[in-house]
């Protein structure tokens, strides 16, 4: 083996910031989010009742739920972009938003007459909601794939699932600015499903698209 290589590499050494990984992931994520936001505005438009709905707790809860997934999965991705690092410490925090939303949904359902419960669960858009979330998750997903490929994930399925879920959270956040559903049971089922689909996509594609050299 050549000493030349060692000499070249050590001559090429420059100090490295601790934020290299986070910065790159944030860059990929924000690029994708901008694309998704533009697509949402062009294809669907913001919800027509934006002004009134901003005064409701439900508007903010949808955003917060989506944001929680994006942030927690984003931190998990920051770990999984590193060889041999584990994201378990972050992933377990997902129980907080999930449990919170399930509990609120249960109370809302319990406080509704049985006849009205189905409407509460499926709303007007259950059929399209998860698909649209998945659609708006794609640009951030692509941005995060780009970011990951420049880093060094060694657990490719887990890393794929983490960026898939983070992208799902971002996609849900953007879609929530269009969606007019206003019940927590709807959020608990269909938003979660859309974000989970995005995570599953990442899990499936991880080994194919995240290999780096």
Q: In this structure, what DSSP letter does residue 93 have? A: G
Closest distance to other proteins from the beta carbon of 2 (Å): 8
For residue 86, how many other CB atoms are within 10 A of its CB? 13
Of residues 11 and 110, the one with the C-beta less far from other proteins: 11
Among 40, 70, 76, 81, binds other proteins (CB under 8 A): 81
Scanning residues 11 to 50, which ones bind other proteins (CB under 8 A)?
A: 11-18, 20-21
Does residue 89 touch other proteins according to CB under 8 A? no
Torsion over CA: 110, 111, 114, 116 (sign): negative
Q: Which residue's CB is nearer to other proteins, number 66 or number 210?
A: 210
Q: Given the complex with other proteins, which of 19 and 107 has the nearer CB atom? A: 19
The Cα–Cα gap between 110 and 103 comes to: 11
Closest CA to 172 of 143, 209, 132, 144: 132
- Residue whose pair of structure tokens reads 């509704």 in the numeric block: 112
* Nearest to other proteins of 9, 113 (CB atom): 9
Q: Binding segment for other proteins among 7-15, 41-49, 69-77, 138-146 (CB under 8 A)?
A: 7-15
Q: Which residues, numbered 124-183, are part of the site for other proteins (CB under 8 A)?
A: 151-152, 154
Q: Which of 46, 83, 89, 116 binds other proteins (CB under 8 A)?
A: 83
Which among 118, 131, 128, 87 is positioned nearest to 183, based on CA atoms? 118
Pairwise CA distance, residues 134 & 155, whole Å: 23
DSSP string, 139-151: HHHHHHHHHHHTS
- The nearer residue to other proteins, 28 or 168, going by C-beta atoms, is 28
Binding site for other proteins (CB under 8 A): 1-2, 5-7, 9-18, 20-21, 81-85, 151-152, 154, 211-213
């Amino acid at each position: 083996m050549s000493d030349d290589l060692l000499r070249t590499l050590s001559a090429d050494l420059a100090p490295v910031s601790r934020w290299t990984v986070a910065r790159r992931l944030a860059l990929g994520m924000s690029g994708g989010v901008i694309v998704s936001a533009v697509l949402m505005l062009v294809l669907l438009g913001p919800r027509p009742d934006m002004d009134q709905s901003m005064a409701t707790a439900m508007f903010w809860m949808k955003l917060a739920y989506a944001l929680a997934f994006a942030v927690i999965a984003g931190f998990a991705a920051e770990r999984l972009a590193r060889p041999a690092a584990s994201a378990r410490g972050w992933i377990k925090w997902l129980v907080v938003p999930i449990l919170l939303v399930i509990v609120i949904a249960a109370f809302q359902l319990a406080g509704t007459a049985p006849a009205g419960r189905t409407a509460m669960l499926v709303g007007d858009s259950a059929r399209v909601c998860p698909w649209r979330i998945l659609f708006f998750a794609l640009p951030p997903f692509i941005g995060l794939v780009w970011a990951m490929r420049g880093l060094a994930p060694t657990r490719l399925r887990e890393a794929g699932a983490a960026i898939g879920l983070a992208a799902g959270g971002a996609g849900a956040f953007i879609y929530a600015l269009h969606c007019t559903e206003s019940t927590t049971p709807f959020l608990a089922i269909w938003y979660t499903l859309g974000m989970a689909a995005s995570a599953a996509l990442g899990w499936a594609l991880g080994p194919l698209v995240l290999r780096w050299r």
